[in-house]
Amino acid sequence: MRGGARKTDPFRIFMPHPSSLAGPKADDAARYAAGLSLIFFGGLVLSIDIPLIRLSESGFATVVFVRGALSFLVAVLLWALLGRGGRAPLIAGRLGLAVTGLYALATLTFLLAVFMTKAANLVFILALNPMFAALLSWAIAGEKPSRATLLAIPATLLGVFLIVGAGLDGSAWLGDLAALMTAFLIALALTLARRSRQDMRYASAIAAIVPALLALPFVIAGGGLQSEAIGWLVINGGIVMPLALICLAAGPMFVPSPVVSMGYLVETVLAPVWMWMIFFERPSALSLTGGGLIIATLLAHSLVELRGRRAPQRAS
């Protein structure tokens, strides 16, 4: 297209052109705002995931299969219907395949955590995502963490120790470990996607087919789908997850991976609220203390980092 740079439209979340990343500095603020809109909306939608899984009262293999298969099918359908005029690839080369594999592993560890620990423990530990992303960006891209990041890391680790300490009262520490692994895998996937500058918006949703295929033999061996209210699971896999995953996976095209990871803070804040309201699953005092420390630290970190990015733009 001639006659100027392509403008970023935050509502065309499935069809932004990757070349817009190379636009002039005048478009940086607009692209950054579009990225923030994507990740905020994705995190908001994602916060409904855990309550819908619990409402379905489904077996583990049923959740993995239905959730994953529907997410995959909807992503392929969106790719086919909305891809005209510059179709984004389902898998962007070898690096895209690696990122898809990381998302697949993260899906498995996340679902294990859902069934093995409290929702509050799970989403609070997932709030470590931005810290992992910042460290991985340093190791992979050579981007040294800021002073704010270095100060935030010990505070978030303390919060995790408090949360895991609550889980050690029973067998929940395995679920806490699975949640920690999920946070690391997602951060690594986002960092690699950001580093590549390739369009990997579908990678996370496409990756859901891997755990779905692994769960299929267990579904068959168990006599079929086991669910008391499978409609909730269909809504989750067919609408909630594809929408949330595509929005969050598209984020690295617009903003750095630690900022994309901040989108998961929306789930961190809202998911325990939904669980408390629906199931009266009150988080333990130790988990609330640790989670509150993590949230406060990451929010302060976000404000400092965002202010630092805006200052050079104002000066120019």
Instruction: Quick: pLDDT tens for 67-117.
Output: 999 999 999 998 888 765 456 777 878 888 999 999 999 988 988 887 788
Choice between 3 and 295, residue whose per-residue pLDDT is larger:
295
Give Cβ neighbours of residue 222 (< 8 Å, ≥ 6 apart).
Answer: 59, 61
| Cα–Cα distance for residue pair 242/248, rounded to 1 Å | 10
| Cα–Cα distance for residue pair 29/314, rounded to 1 Å | 10
Place of tokens 């994953």: 68
| Cα–Cα distance for residue pair 243/12, rounded to 1 Å | 13
Structure tokens at 216: 């299929």
Q: Looking at residues 293-312, what average pLDDT do you find?
A: 73
Q: Looking at residues 283-303, what average pLDDT do you find?
A: 79
| Structure letter (DSSP) for residue 202 | T
Residue among 23, 24, 193 at smallest CA distance from 101: 193
pLDDT at 166: 58
| Cα–Cα distance for residue pair 239/293, rounded to 1 Å | 32
Q: Looking at residues 194-202, what average pLDDT do you find?
A: 83
For residues 239 and 49, is the Cβ–Cβ distance under 8 A?
no
Domain boundaries, the chain: 29-315
User: What's the gap between Cα 104 and its chain centre?
Assistant: 12
Q: Looking at residues 275-289, what average pLDDT do you find?
A: 81
pLDDT digits (tens, 9 = 90+) for 36-58: 788 889 988 988 998 999 999 99
Read off the pTM.
Answer: 0.76
Cα torsion angle, 31, 246, 138, 298, sign: positive
pLDDT digits (tens, 9 = 90+) for 250-268: 888 887 787 788 777 777 7
Mean pLDDT score across all residues of the chain: 79
pLDDT at 249 over 50: yes
pLDDT at 60: 86
Angle between helices 119-126 and 264-279 (to 10 degrees): 170
pLDDT at 312: 57
Where helices occur in the chain by DSSP H, the ranges are 28-46, 49-56, 60-82, 93-116, 119-126, 129-141, 147-167, 173-196, 203-207, 209-221, 230-235, 241-250, 257-261, 264-279, 285-315
Residue among 83, 105, 94, 111 at smallest CA distance from 201: 83
Q: Where is average pLDDT lowest: 198-207, 208-217, 249-258?
A: 249-258
Structure tokens at 125: 């530990």
- Helix, strand or coil for residue 263? coil
| Structure letter (DSSP) for residue 229 | -
Place of tokens 């609070």: 124
| Cα–Cα distance for residue pair 135/138, rounded to 1 Å | 5
Is residue 243 very low, low, confident or very high in pLDDT (cuts 50, 70, 90)?
very high
pLDDT at 110: 84
| Cα–Cα distance for residue pair 139/197, rounded to 1 Å | 17
